[in-house]
A and B are shown apart, each in its own frame.
Chain A
Amino acid sequence: MKLAYWMYAGPAHIGTLRVASSFKNVHAIMHAPLGDDYFNVMRSMLERERDFTPVTASIVDRHVLARGSQEKVVDNISRKDKQERPNLIVLTPTCTSSILQEDLQNFVDRASRISDSDVILADVNHYRVNELQAADRTLEQVVRYYLDKARRQGTLQVSLTDEPSANIIGIFTLGFHNQHDCRELKRLLKDLGIQINQVIPEGGFVENLHQLPKAWFNLVPYREVGLMTAKYLEKDFGMSYISTTPMGVVDIASFIRRIEEQINKLSLVLSTEKVNYEPYIDEQTRFISQAAWFSRSIDCQNLTGKKAVVFGDATHAASITKILACEMGIRVSCAGTYCKHDEEWFKEQVQNFCDEILVTDDHAEVGDMIARIEPSAIFGTQMERHIGKRLDIPCGVISSPVHIQNFTLGYRPFLGYEGTNQVADLVYNSFTLGMEDHLLEIFGGHDTKEVITKSLSTDSDLTWNSESQLELNKIPGFVRGKIKRNTEKFARQNSIVDITVETMYAAKEALNA
C-alpha cells in the first residue's frame, strides 16, 4: 500500500479509452462498476467535445460479483453494435476486472460471432502499466489487428505512394496541445512536399488502417504513444520511423534532416527526385521562426544563467530542457520526468544539459526539490504550477497532466516553427521581466503586503524582531520568500534564535561568499 494524494499518470484503462475514442466510429465498453465512466466527463469537459463520448460501461454490480458477468458483457456489446453500428468495439478491462479474473476473451469471441462490428479485448494489465503505456499498447494492438485482418483478406496495400508520404502516429484525445501540434506538423510536411498518408488515432478510421504501409515512413512526435506501433510496422513491413520530436529549432532541423535522409534513400529505389531541405531549414530558422532571433536579442540576455527546473512527461521535459539550455542560455538546475518506464532514454537525452536529473512519480519529491533549488522559474505540469504558487515562483505549463485552461481555443502548438515562437513566449513570460526586475531591486519593491511563510514544512521556531521584519518588508515580493528562507537557514546553522537586521546581512554575506 502506498499513501498517495496525487498522481501524474492515470490508470491503464484511461489510456485505452483515449486511443479508442480518438478513432472515428470506434466504441469502447468498460467492464467496470458504476461511476467509472469518469473518462466521459474529462473528455466532454476538457476537450469540450460536442459529441457523446463513445464509451459505455458494462456495469459490474453485486450480481456480477456473485455469479459472474455471464451474458451481460456479450449483451452489452451486441446492443451497442445495433445502436451505433461502430466499426470496432474495444472491451476495456479495469482494475476491477483484473481482480475478478473473468474470461473476458471468451466474451469477446462470443460477441464477435453475433455482431457486425469487430470486437477486441484491450490487452492491458491495470497493475503493471499506466495510462501512457496502455495507450501505446492499445494503439499497436488495434493497428496489428487490422493489418492482420487485411493480410488474411488479401486487401493489404503495401505499394508505396508515388509522392513521398508519411503517417503521423500518436496524436490523440486529451493529449497536451496535440490538436495544434498535429496542424503544425501537417503544415510543416506540406512545406516539404510530403503527403500525409494517415494520422492515427485522432480522427482516423480503422477501416483505413490497411493502407498504413503505403506511406514512405512513419513519424512519432511523442515518445509516450506510438513507438510500439512504429516498431511493429518497421518489423513487419520494413517501414522506418522518425522519433525525433520536432520541438525547438535545433531538433526541428534534425527532424527535417532525418526526413530528407529517408526520402533520398527511397528515391534511389523508386528513381524519383532527391530532395534538399537545407535552404528551407535555414530560411525558417533565421527569418520565419522568431525564436532564433529572440535568443540573440538583448532582452534574452537577462535570462542568461537564471536557474530553472523542468518536470513533465519524457518528451516534453527533455525537449524543453534542451531548448532552455542550448537555445536560450538558461541554466537548468534539475530536469525530471514521471515516465519511470522511460528513465534510461530520458537520462541519456538531458544529461549534458542540466545539473541533476530526477525520475519520480511522487509530487512531494518534486516539490521538495523545487523548494531546495529555488529556481527563478519552473516549467512543469499543473502540479508544479501549484507548487510554484505556494513558493511564489512563476511556472510555465509544458506537459500533461493539465487543466481545462491548457486546452486552448487559440492556436498554440509546441511542435514545428510556430511552436518555437510559442515556447519562447512561454519561457520569457514566465520569468520576471528584465527591467522590472532591476527597478524593483533598486527601489526596494512596491508591494507592502504582510510576509507569510512560504515553506512547505512546518512552522519555524525562529522569531524576527520588528526591525528585521521591517527590513524584510522592504525586499521585493518575488524574492522576499527566498531571502527569508535563506536567513532562517543561516540562523539555524549558527544557532541564532532571534533574527535581527544584522543576522540578515550576515546571512547574505555568508551566501555570497
Chain B
Amino acid sequence: MSIKISETLTFECETGNYHTFCPISCVAWLYQKIEDSFFLVVGTKTCGYFLQNALGVMIFAEPRYAMAELEEGDISAQLNDYQELKRLCLQIKKDRNPSVIIWIGTRTTEIIKMDLEGMAPKLENEIEIPIIVARANGLDYAFTQGEDTVLAAMAHRCPEQENWINDEQENEKKSIDKLFSSLPIETGGKDKQSVINPKNKIPLVLFGSLPSTVASQLSLELNRQSINVSGWLPAQRYTDLPILGNNVYVCGVNPFLSRTATTLMRRRKCKLIGAPFPIGPDGTRAWIEEICSAFGIETQGLEEREQQVWESLGNYLNLVRGKSVFFMGDNLLEISLARFLIRCGMIVYEIGIPYMDKRYQAAELTLLQTTCKKMCIPMPRIVEKPDNYNQIQRMRELQPDLAITGMAHANPLEARGINTKWSVEFTFAQIHGFTNAKDVLELVTRPLRRNNNLENLGWTDLVRER
C-alpha cells in the first residue's frame, strides 16, 4: 500500500470535483415527513429533470411539490417575479390548501438575485399561508445539506417559549399523566421521581428529519433514561413545530445539520448538546450519554443495552470483520458510518466528505478517534471536497473490499471487480438508534453476501481493458 495512513486525524481538501445529488433533493423526503407542507422549487428545467428522475415513481403519486419553472421572460426580468409567484401560490392554495409553502431557491434564483426572502413575507400576508424560504442550491451545498437549509429556515418559525411556560403550568398535570401512560408499569415508581426532578422540566428539542417510527424509537430510548423529548424539528405537521427559547436544550440526530444548529444557538438562544450521532449502537449510546450528562442524569442500563445489540449483530459482524471500506463521499453521513464500521471491525481507507464542520461534528470526530485506538486500526484520512477522478486512482491501488459511492460510479466500479454500495440508500434507510443498527449492516453486507453467492462463477471483472 503506497498511501500512508497516519496516526492522528488528518484533513485534506481536494478539488471538489465529485458527484453528489443536488440539495433540492431534500424535497423528496421532507414533503413526506411534513404532511401539510407544499414544496415549490423555483428553478429551471434542469432542476425539474433532476427531481423527476431522482425521485422516480414518487412523482406519479401526486406529490405535494412542484417546480415553478423559470422561463426566458423571468430570467430577463420581463415578467414580474412577485406577480408570477403569487399566481402560482394561489393556484397551489386552491388545489392543495397546505399549511405552509416552502420555496426552495436554486442556483438560478441565486444568480439572477431573485429576492425570495424579501417577497415571501409580503406574499404571505396577501395569501394567508406561511411561506418559508430555503436556499438549497448547488452553488453552496451538497445533497443532504438541503435539509439543513430548510430546517434552519423553519427554526425561525417555531413558537417562542413564553407561551410555552404559561401553557406548561396548566398542562403540567396532564403531561405527567401522559408520560406515565406510555411507561412500563414496573419502572413507574422510579420515573415518578425523575419527573419531580426539576432538571427534567428543562425542555429538549431534537432536530433532524426522521421517519416517524425512528423518531419515536429515539424518543423512547430517552424516555427510558427519564428524559422527555418536548418536540422535534421538523414535526409531522407544520402546525406542530416545537417551542424554542433560551432554556431549551437542542440536540442533532444527523451530521449534516450544522446551519440548523447554528441558527438554534444564535438566533433562538437554545443550548446545543454536542454529541456523536445516534448511528450504530456505539453512536446511539454515546448520544444518549451526552444528553443525559447535559441534564445531570446518570444513565441506566445503557451498557447492557448496547452489548445486547452487538450480540444480535453477530452474524453480520463475522461477514464484515477485517474487510476494508472506501467512502467516496456525497451525503455527510460518512464520519458517523465510518466510525460505526470501524467499531464493527472494518478497516476504513478513506472518508470522503463534501463538507466537514469540525465544531458541529466535534464529538463524533473524537469518538472516531477513540474507536480507532480501541480497535487498533490506523486513522483513516478524511478528504473534504474530494476529487472523484483521483479517488478512483487511489481505489485502483488500494482495492478495497467495499466502496460506498454514488450511483454514477457504482456500475463502472462493479464491472471492474470492486464491490459497491450506493451511498444514497443510507440517506433513505432507517439507520438511527439501537433498533436500526441491523439495517446499516444489512446494507453494508448486501454486496458482500451477494458475492458469497456468485463467488465461484469466475467472472468478477467484466470490462475489456483498453
> Interface of A with B (CB < 8 Å)?
1-7, 10-11, 13-14, 32-38, 40-42, 44-45, 48-53, 56-57, 59-62, 65, 76, 83, 94-96, 98-100, 126-128, 130, 383, 386, 403
Contact = CB atoms under 8 A, between A and B. Distances in A.
Contact of A50 (B63, B69, B415): B415
Interface stretch (B16-24, B122-130, B167-175, B427-435): B16-24
B17 A53 contact: no
B412 A50 contact: yes
B389 interface: yes
Interface in B62-83: 63, 66-72, 74-75, 79
Nearest to B413: A52
A3 B407 contact: no
Given A4-B48, A95-B45, A34 B16 contact: yes
B84 to A, nearest CB: 4
Contact of A65 (B68, B74, B111, B409): B111
Nearest to A72: B15
B68 A48 contact: no
Given A36-B138, A44-B407, A96-B107, A61 B59 contact: no
B11 interface: no
B111 A10 contact: no
Contacts of B87: 1
A353 B407 CA distance: 43
B183 interface: no
B463 to A, nearest CB: 5
Contact of A44 (B74, B110, B410): B410
A45 B17 contact: no
Contact of A1 (B48, B79, B110, B411): B79
A1 B69 contact: yes
B71 A38 contact: no
21 contacts: A1-B79, A4-B69, A5-B63, A10-B49, A11-B46, A11-B49, A14-B49, A35-B142, A36-B46, A36-B138, A37-B19, A38-B49, A44-B410, A52-B409, A61-B140, A65-B111, A76-B17, A83-B389, A130-B45, A383-B60, A386-B60
Given A38-B54, A52-B412, A96-B111, A7 B21 contact: no
Q: Which one of A1, A49, A126, A128 has the greatest number of beta carbons of chain B within 10 Å?
A: A1
Contacts of A33: 22, 107, 137-139
B230 to A, nearest CB: 35
A10 B52 CA distance: 10
A412 B462 CA distance: 23
Contacts, number: 155
A127 B71 contact: yes
A41 B407 contact: yes
A418 B21 CA distance: 40
A60 B75 CA distance: 18
Given A1-B85, A35-B22, A41 B17 contact: no
The 4 closest A-B pairs by CB, nearest first: A35-B22, A33-B138, A40-B408, A50-B415
B256 interface: no
A83 B142 CA distance: 26
B452 interface: no
A57 B110 CA distance: 19
B69 A2 contact: yes
A40 B19 contact: yes
Q: Which one of B46, B112, B139 has the greatest number of beta carbons of chain A within 10 Å?
A: B46
A53 B49 contact: no
A5 B53 CA distance: 12
A83 B46 CA distance: 28
Contact of B53 (A38, A56, A130): A38
B44 A95 contact: yes
Contact of B46 (A94, A100, A386): A94
Interface in B81-121: 84-85, 87-88, 91-92, 107-108, 110-112
Contact of A48 (B50, B60, B406, B411): B411
B45 A41 contact: no
A60 B412 contact: no
Given A52-B412, A65-B139, A383-B60, 7 more contacts: A7-B52, A10-B45, A11-B45, A13-B46, A41-B54, A45-B407, A51-B412
Q: Which one of A34, A61, A65, A94 has the greatest number of beta carbons of chain B within 10 Å?
A: A34
Interface string B37-61: 0000010111011101110110110
A13 B17 CA distance: 19
Contacts of A10: 45, 49
Interface size range of chain B in the complex? 35 or more
A7 B44 CA distance: 12
Contacts of A5: 59, 63, 66-67
Nearest to A53: B408
B85 A126 contact: no
Contacts of B60: 383, 386
Contact of B17 (A3, A57, A383): A57
B207 interface: no
A74 to B, nearest CB: 14
A56 B45 contact: no
Contacts of A127: 71-72, 75
A51 to B, nearest CB: 6
Contacts of B66: 3-5
A71 to B, nearest CB: 13
A62 B140 contact: yes
Contacts of B406: 41
A211 B142 CA distance: 45
Nearest to A131: B49
B68 A1 contact: yes
A175 to B, nearest CB: 16
B143 interface: yes
Nearest to A97: B111
Nearest to A12: B45
B46 A49 contact: no
B88 A1 contact: yes
A96 B53 CA distance: 20
A59 B17 contact: yes
Given A3-B68, A38-B22, A51 B463 contact: yes
B307 to A, nearest CB: 40
A99 B407 CA distance: 29
Contacts of A126: 44-46
Contacts of A38: 21-22, 49-50, 53-54
A56 B408 CA distance: 11
Given A4-B48, A94-B46, A95-B45, A37 B142 contact: no
Contacts of B143: 35
B20 A34 contact: yes
Contact of A35 (B44, B45, B50, B69): B50
A14 B52 CA distance: 14
A391 B99 CA distance: 30
A413 B273 CA distance: 61
Given A1-B84, A49-B412, A95-B45, A42 B108 contact: no
Contact of B138 (A35, A41, A99, A386): A35
Nearest to B22: A35
A126 B140 CA distance: 22
A212 B263 CA distance: 62
A96 B22 CA distance: 14
